[in-house]
Amino acid sequence: MPMFDFTCTGCGNVFEDLVFGDEAPVCPKCGAATQRQMSVPSPLKTGAFPFKPGPVRPMSKTPPPCAAGGCPSGGCGTSGGTGGGLS
């Protein structure tokens, strides 16, 4: 569906509208005539994820610090629960 940018010739309001054919909509604020503006085309989506992801921070090799009493799972080297500690 064609979406275009328009500028009101009366009040200068800039807005987008869905238009079929060469018709120009009236300004939603003041009802005056509008003029279609040139706009940059949208990039085409190619594939499931069209944008290249940014840099990924590597995971830490050491587990994060645990709360007082240790981890319930024993994953941090102290046993605060049923998981048993690391040996």
C-alpha–C-alpha distance, residues 12 and 17, integer Å: 15
Q: Per residue in 59-68, is it b (16+ CB within 10 Å) or e — as a string?
A: eeeeeeebee
- pLDDT for the residue numbered 61: 72
Which pLDDT does position 87 carry in this prediction?
47
How many CB atoms lie under 10 A from the CB of residue 18? Answer: 9
Segments making up each domain of the chain, as ranges:
3-36
With 90 as the cut, is the pLDDT of residue 30 above it? yes
CB 80 within 8 A of CB 71: yes
- Mean pLDDT of all residues in 3-22: 89
Task: Encode pLDDT of 34-65 as tens digits.
Answer: 998 887 666 666 666 656 666 767 776 776 66
Among 14, 7, 66, CA closest to 74: 66
The structure's pTM equals 0.44
Distance, CA of 84 to chain centre: 42
Longest CA pairwise span in the chain (Å): 78
